[in-house]
Structure 1
Amino acid sequence: MAVPLIAGALLWASGTVGQAPNPFRGQRLYVNPESPALRQAAAWARSRPADAAHMRRIGEQPQAIWLGDWTRDIRAEVDRLMTQIGRAGALPVFVAYNIPNRDCGLYSAGGARGGDAYRRWVQDFARGLRGRRAVVILEPDGLASMDCMPARLRDERSVLLREAVQTLTAGGAAVYIDAGNANWKQPADMAARLRGAGIDRAQGFALNVSNFHNVQVNLAYGDRLSAMVGGKHYVIDTSRNGRGAQIEREWCNAPGQALGRAPTANTGNPRADAFLWVKMPGQSDGTCNGGPRAGAWWPDYALELSRAAAALGSMFPR
């Protein structure tokens, strides 16, 4: 199933001088008909029809597909997904999440077992693309969180990300390097990290992945960061930022949040290529605030997010 971001033919639009074309303009994004939210809606259809409607509210939106060390054969899986999504006439959006020493050993710990293993994984990822167009969000928190590592591993991470940008771009992907969120690193610091990670060869950078900061805060931060990295464009994860409140310390299954703006390339900002649902609403951040393990489906949290969005009046809040 595919839904249009912007009405029109499935064509790449012309871009501005010095910046690659917006890969989302005129494209459709994929809605997984077997998503956890839609399966939950089907399970609740008779016994909890109102709650089932909230689940459909989530499941009917296009969401990114995360790929990492749990994917046994990354080349075959990417190839399969590219074929499946291509048949639906949609643009695939993937998240590459397999960097060594991932998440500093916290809730989402894991990743490839060393630099060479990561290189092979990325190469196989690119081979699965087979030159077909896709978007890849590269390593959420990979740059912002690397202070936890010794200098030699930070340097290695920058090299690995730079090589990943080159490999995935050559494979057909528009790559957005994750740049944390608006209240994590100062723009000058993050700009230096992005330059070390190969932003010059990437499509741009990604903000607010799995976080809750509101759109305006992210746009302001993204514009400042863009000016420091050669005018590169960016995308914002709006899956759970509908409340519009500042979140200073709470990032893990933060309570009192809401679904954010529906995915669109119509951002109203020439540097923001798209608002996306990168994080699946209802997928746990980890065993915090009552949640299950990281990545597990948590229907109660999904329901809370959807109910809160409905109370705000739409999925197009602040």
Structure 2
Amino acid sequence: MTTAPAASRRRRSLPRWVWISIVAAALVIILAVIAAIGWTVTTGLSLLNAEPPGVGTTIVAPAESKASLAAESASEGTEEFAAAAYLAAAPTAYWLTPELDPIGDVGARVLNLANEARDQDAALAVVIYGLPERDCGQYSAGGLDDADYDTWTTEIGSALSSAGAADIQKIIILEPDSLALAPQCDNVNARMTQLHDAVDRLAGTNTWIYLDGGHSNWLPASEMASLIQQVDVSDAIRGFATNVSNYQPTYAEFEYAHQISDALGGSHAIVDTSRNGADQAESDWCNPSGQLIGAAGGAYGDDVVDTNLWVKPPGESDGECNGGPVAGAWWPESAVELTTNVVQ
């Protein structure tokens, strides 16, 4: 049998420059994997250690706000422009309603707001306002039926929990007036189910949910606490929000929040100070005259009140009362009056 020469049987070695290229490419891949793992671990730890809102919290000033849109259309140099521009720059919660952000669109809106919050190094605060029989047939009447409300809030929750919003602190004010109005509207049981299920759909990492807490000049604290307790979501929410869309003094709201918290065994609160700067609200809640914007968000807080925020956007009407347009519509005259203490 003829055998091949030894030289032809020997495995040929790759040139040295090829081995160097292979090793270099492998190192690049390894470093990329390590970087990706490190980012994931760091992000995961930051979310696990996410803190609730507190004094110093800044929320996004949405480009989609009605104040911002009004500033774009107002004539520069006018008092209407000055008021709208001031309010457009103020960190304020964005109200998600099915009328403006319907099913199929609301998720994209949430992600856009999250991007704005990231760009501004701010938290995202949204008010969810679309449950069935909203406002009990009053000025803000509307909302969705039960099936569509489920779909709508599921879309919101999915967007809030998606990668596009995962790194943002998210604050949810869930359905203002829904609990405080329930006894008057005789729909307490329906409200409990609607809010309980909505919380399930909205809860997520670094998401802080606050239920309707009325305000200090409405229901007694014990009754308000009982309504909150009946929603039966204490493990999934941060607490309750008071003075939303109202004008009660900050000191009265802090006292009220403490009373509710004590009745609940230690819950937390957000206080809306967007329009309580005049400190003279009393019982008139629908476009009362002589009001002023209140303290900027993140200014106050204690062991019960996480902080104050601007929840109701100043300049938007409470309804067709005291000369105002429909609820939620931009009202230039109101914006001017509310900002007379800060805009010359």
TM-score category, normalised to shorter length: 0.7 to 0.9
Match of 2:307, SS state, is: strand
| Distance (whole Å) between structure 2 residues aligned to residue 27 and residue 260 of structure 1 | 16
Determine whether 1:58 maps to 2:92: no
Deviation readout 1:253-302 (Å, 9 max, x if unpaired) = 111111101111x4142211111111111101111111111111001101
Partner of 1:271: 304
Work out the CA distance in 1 between the residues paired with 2:155 and 2:77.
44
Which of 271, 293, 296 pairs up with 2:326? 293
- Give the corresponding residue for 1:222: 257
Amino acid at match of 1:99: L
Using a 3 Å threshold, how does the CA distance of structure 1 residues 123 and 51 change in structure 2: closer, same or farther? closer
Note the alpha carbon deviations across 1:114-140, whole angstroms, 9 max, x for none: 2x3222222111011125241100000
Distance (Å, rounded) in 2 between the aligned partners of 1:34 and 1:209: 20
Q: Secondary structure at the match of 1:28?
A: coil
In structure 2, do the counterparts of structure 1 residues 60 and 158 end up closer, same or farther at CA, with 3 Å as the change threshold?
same
- Per the alignment, in what secondary structure is the counterpart of residue 136 of structure 1? strand
Instruction: Choose 79-88 or 39-48, whichever is displaced more.
Output: 39-48
Q: Which residue of 2 aligns with 1:135?
A: 171
Of residues 243, 248, 266, the one that matches 1:208 is 243
Q: Deviation of residue 164 (structure 1)?
A: 1.6
Tell me the CA shift for residue 230 of structure 1: 2.2
Which shows bigger deviation, 273-282 or 129-138? 129-138
Q: Secondary structure at the match of 1:192?
A: helix
CA-based RMSD of the aligned residues comes to 2.5
Equivalent position of 1:154 in the other structure:
188
Question: Do structure 1's residue 22 and structure 2's residue 52 form an aligned pair?
Answer: yes
Alignment partner, residue 66 of structure 2: 36
Corresponding residue number in structure 1 for 2:278: 243
Q: 1:154 to 1:46 in 2, by over 3 A?
A: closer
Q: Partner amino acid for 2:61? A: V
Alignment check: 8 A CA contact 1:240 1:258 kept: yes
3-state SS of 1:30 partner:
coil
Q: Which moved more, 1:61-70 or 1:154-163?
A: 154-163
**Count of residues in correspondence between the two structures:** 290
Structure 1 position 111, deviation (Å) = 0.9
Q: Which amino acid aligns with 1:160?
A: Q
Structure number with larger C-alpha Rg: 2
Does the Cα contact within 8 Å between 2:275 and 2:291 map onto a contact in 1? Answer: yes
Query: Per-residue CA shift, 1:173-211, capped at 9, x if unaligned?
Result: 210001111111011111110011235121110000000
1: CA distance, partners of 2:172 / 2:144: 18
Q: Deviations over 1:68-111 (max 9, x none)?
A: 22112222322332233223322100000011110011110011
Provide the C-alpha distance between the structure 1 equivalents of 2:264 and 2:182, rounded to a whole number of angstroms: 20
Cα distance, 1:171 vs. partner? 6.1
Specify the SS of the correspondent of 1:161: helix
Cα 1:110–1:270 shift into 2, 3 Å: same
CA-to-partner distance for each residue in 1:1-39, whole Å, 9 max, x for gaps? xxxxxxxxxx7898xxxxx94334665321234543345
1:57 CA drift (Å): 2.9
- CA distance in structure 1 between the aligned counterparts of 2:66 and 2:150, rounded to whole angstroms: 31
SS at structure 2 position matched to 1:200: coil
Instruction: Please list every run of 5 or more consecutive structure 1 residues that lacks an aligned counterpart in the other structure.
Output: 1-10, 15-19, 314-318
2:289 aligned counterpart, secondary structure: coil
TM-score by length of 2: 0.77
Contact 1:130 1:172 in 2 (8 A): no
Write out aligned runs for 1:104-143 (5 A). 104-114=136-146, 116-131=147-162, 132=166, 133-143=169-179
- Which residue of structure 2 lines up, in the alignment, with residue 283 of structure 1? 316
Contact 1:210-1:237 at 8 Å conserved across structures: yes
Any gaps of 5 or more consecutive residues in structure 2? Answer: 1-45
